[in-house]
Amino acid sequence: MECKHDHHTDEVRKNAEANIEKYGCHLVLIERGDYLPAFVYSIGLHQNFNHPEIICFDLKSELMSGMINHACDLIKQGEKLVPGKSYSDFLEGHNIQFLPVDKEFYPDYLGYANWYYGNDFNFPALQMVYPDLQGFFPWENSFDSDWKFRQPLLDRNTDFKFKEERNVCVYTTKQALEGDPILYAYHNTDGA
């Protein structure tokens, strides 16, 4: 697989290695874009502790970083964070859970980790998932629908990587309907 991060320098690698040596992991922050929420993920947990890397979406960057650093501290103490278990000591007043990240999502979200690990997505990753203000997780029926696209669930729906619903209105061309490739998609401000 082609690496999109070949332009990184030895200085960037040295910085990551220094953080991994000193703290147990290096954190990568990807700022919010027009289409994606902000997210933070670790590099080094797999290398140092044989533990999955961790990714978290769309909270304040300091909070996401603090939560992943807390996870790193627990892992350094020998704890293994596992999917499906509730953890109460990450986010004040709320439990969080972890989901296994499907490798189909790695190129979209874990590119720097791929670069760091030698252009090899052969490392596990977990997504740290938080509930809405009422305590419901995104997969529960009562979850706040206004929060639906704050944290894409990276363990499912690998065949549809858009934040809009599957049934959103689409205008297309005869050529696309006849099987020609779609080379560009434009979204209105409402997502259509």
* 119-150 residue pLDDT tens: 888 899 999 999 999 999 999 999 998 888 88
More confident residue, 101 or 32: 101
Residue 106 counted as domain residue? yes
More confident residue, 8 or 67: 67
Average pLDDT of the residues in 185-192: 69
Asked if 46 and 16 count as a contact pair (C-beta separation under 8 A), the reply is no
Average pLDDT of the residues in 162-173: 70
Backbone torsions φ then ψ of 100, nearest 5 degrees: -70, 135
The single-letter DSSP state of residue 188 is -
Asked if 153 and 139 count as a contact pair (C-beta separation under 8 A), the reply is yes
Residue 59 counted as domain residue? yes
Residue 19 counted as domain residue? yes
d(CA 112, CA 157): 23
Residue 190 counted as domain residue? no
Asked if 96 and 90 count as a contact pair (C-beta separation under 8 A), the reply is yes
Is residue 1 scored above 50 in pLDDT? Answer: no
Q: What percent of the chain has pLDDT over 90?
A: 51
Residue 180 counted as domain residue? no
Is residue 5 scored above 70 in pLDDT? Answer: no
* pLDDT given for residue 3 in this prediction: 46
- pTM of the model as a whole: 0.80
d(CA 25, CA 186): 38
Any idea what the Cα angle at residue 68 is, between residues 77 and 72, rounded to 5°? 20
Any idea what the Cα angle at residue 111 is, between residues 119 and 52, rounded to 5°? 85
Q: Do β-strands 53-57 and 87-91 pair in parallel, antiparallel, or remain unpaired?
A: unpaired
Token couple for 61: 């960057």
d(CA 101, CA 53): 10
Is residue 109 scored above 70 in pLDDT? Answer: yes
Residue 48: which pLDDT band, with cuts at 50, 70 and 90?
very high
Q: What percent of the chain has pLDDT over 70?
A: 88
Is residue 93 scored above 60 in pLDDT? Answer: yes
Please list, in sequence order, all residues whose beta carbon lies within 8 angstroms of the beta carbon of residue 40, skipping any fewer than 6 positions away.
Answer: 27, 28, 29, 30, 55, 56, 61, 64, 65, 68
Asked if 155 and 139 count as a contact pair (C-beta separation under 8 A), the reply is no
Domain extent for 73: 10-147
Residue 4 counted as domain residue? no
Residue 58 counted as domain residue? yes
d(CA 181, CA 192): 19
Residue 185 counted as domain residue? no
